[in-house]
């Protein structure tokens, strides 16, 4: 009798330890990794995604369960000083090796992304055909990194993912009963606007964002910042929120660290940056943050053996207490263009082309700034224009009431004033406020025409 009792205690203790270690063998781990940009100027976004892939791969996730969206124009770009190599840290290794090329180039689209999340192979156009074919006991991790803007996640082809459409897809995924829980990490400017007032509780979804609904997120490991990047690089290697969660995941025991613990680590590091900082936010079913990282990211080989971690100098510089230098996401491309111009030989064709690109970018920004201001003045008067366009709604209220109006207003502007570009999309809140003010589309068209002709 005593022998049986001892055996029962051993079994119960083993089960408790297994649960406490973060292992969940009752389902498959799925991941969707998205870099929403292209061009060497945006090196950091694909570097982020490649690093995330390596974390999941080392955690035991299979390639068949990791879906990668990235343009794939960085590793062998003529500007890359290390062909075939992508790094996400000044002293980091190659994170590009082995990364699946599921959706690259023109296949990195909003429609393909939503189809992949929903497991809808029929909705795909191009790509590997891989989708989240998940079941009711499965766990899903979604990570997105790019510029972003109020209410939108940008994509390289210009078919931006609007917050309302993303949330509707998540609701549809939940209604299908094809997952147990989901975690979403979003690196983007105004990332909180994707979920604030839109993501309801009860979907078994926990989301964290690099920024609140009304502030920028920031690039890091950039030229002329601390820590210094290798001299041959003239672009940012990572994004602060992203490298914060990934460097934490690299060194911590994911079987014992919770999502909440990582949220606090990332919040501290992102909020304590040297030049600029943002407020990391969390949305949805916050109770899920008590779960262990391993449920979504897998466990590292060291954590499986509960090996002790010996802190190093690199760890110190990647910890929550290290004050990392940052660059405003909206200014990162100017840093790149300026560095390219400064490094080009005097009198060379390369230097002249770099100067022209820099001047064109500055001219475009001035045009967008002036045209938006003019539209606001025309619609609301010179004294009220800026106040209305820049107004921020209270927490818990979505960016805009009528999302179709927002899409239409953006189209009207671009038809009269030209493309917004990544920089110009920071004015999405202005367009939303035009809709919230009840401005008719005809009046918007008249104001845009007047401002830009």
| Positions marked active-site | 147, 189
DSSP letter at 230 equals P
Label residues 231-259 b or e (16+ Cβ within 10 Å = b).
Answer: eebbbbbbbbbbbbbbbbbbbbbbbbbbb
Label residues 184-208 b or e (16+ Cβ within 10 Å = b).
Answer: bbbbbbbbbbbbbbbbeeebbbbbb
Question: Rounded to whole angstroms, how far apart are CA atoms 19 and 376?
Answer: 56
* Residues 395, 196 contacting (CB under 8 angstroms): yes
The helix (H) or strand (E) run that includes residue 140 is strand 139-145
Locate 383 and state its tokens: 């004294």
Question: Rounded to whole angstroms, how far apart are CA atoms 422 and 158?
Answer: 10
Nearest to 242 by CA among 59, 29, 51, 39: 51
> How many C-beta atoms lie closer than 10 Å to residue 273's C-beta?
19
Question: Rounded to whole angstroms, how far apart are CA atoms 48 and 294?
Answer: 19
């Amino acid at each position: 009798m005593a022998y049986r009792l001892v055996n029962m205690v051993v079994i119960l203790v083993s089960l408790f330890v297994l649960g406490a270690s973060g292992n969940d063998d009752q389902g498959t781990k799925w991941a969707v990794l998205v870099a929403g940009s292209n061009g060497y100027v945006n090196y950091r976004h694909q570097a982020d995604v490649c690093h995330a892939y390596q974390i999941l791969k080392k955690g035991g996730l299979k390639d068949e369960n990791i879906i990668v969206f990235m343009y794939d124009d960085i590793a062998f770009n003529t500007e890359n000083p290390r062909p075939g190599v992508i790094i996400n840290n000044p002293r980091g290794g190659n994170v590009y090796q082995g990364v699946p090329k599921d959706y690259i180039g023109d296949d990195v689209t909003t429609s393909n992304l939503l189809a992949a999340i929903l497991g809808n192979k029929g909705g795909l156009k191009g790509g590997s055909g891989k989708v989240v074919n998940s079941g009711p006991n499965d766990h899903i991790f979604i990570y997105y990194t790019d510029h972003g803007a109020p209410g939108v996640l940008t994509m390289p082809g210009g078919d931006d993912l609007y917050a309302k459409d993303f949330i509707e897809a998540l609701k549809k995924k939940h209604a299908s009963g094809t997952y147990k829980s989901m975690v979403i990490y979003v690196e983007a400017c105004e990332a909180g606007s994707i979920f604030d007032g839109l993501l309801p509780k009860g979907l078994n979804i926990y989301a964290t964002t690099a920024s609140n609904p009304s502030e920028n997120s920031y690039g890091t490991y950039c030229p002329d910042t601390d820590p210094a990047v290798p001299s041959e690089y003239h672009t940012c290697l990572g994004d602060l929120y992203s490298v914060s969660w990934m460097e934490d995941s690299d060194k911590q025991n994911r079987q014992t660290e919770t999502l909440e613990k990582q949220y606090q680590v990332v919040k501290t590091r992102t909020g304590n940056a040297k030049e600029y900082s943002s407020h990391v936010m969390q949305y949805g079913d916050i109770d899920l943050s008590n779960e262990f990282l391993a449920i979504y990211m897998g466990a590292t080989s060291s954590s499986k053996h509960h090996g002790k971690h010996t802190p190093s100098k690199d760890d110190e510089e990647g910890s929550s207490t290290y004050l990392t230098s940052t660059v405003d996401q909206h200014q990162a491309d100017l840093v790149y263009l300026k560095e390219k111009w400064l490094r080009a030989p005097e009198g060379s064709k390369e230097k002249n082309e770099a100067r022209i690109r820099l001047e064109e970018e500055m001219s475009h920004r001035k045009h967008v700034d002036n045209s938006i201001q003019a539209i606001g003045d025309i619609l609301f008067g010179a004294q009220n224009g800026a106040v209305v366009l820049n107004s921020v709604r209270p927490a818990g209220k979505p960016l805009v009431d009528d999302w179709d109006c927002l899409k239409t207003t953006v189209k009207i502007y671009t038809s009269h004033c030209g493309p917004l570009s990544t920089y110009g999309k920071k004015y999405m809140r202005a367009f939303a406020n035009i809709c919230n003010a009840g401005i008719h589309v005809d009046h918007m068209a008249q104001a845009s025409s007047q401002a830009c002709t």
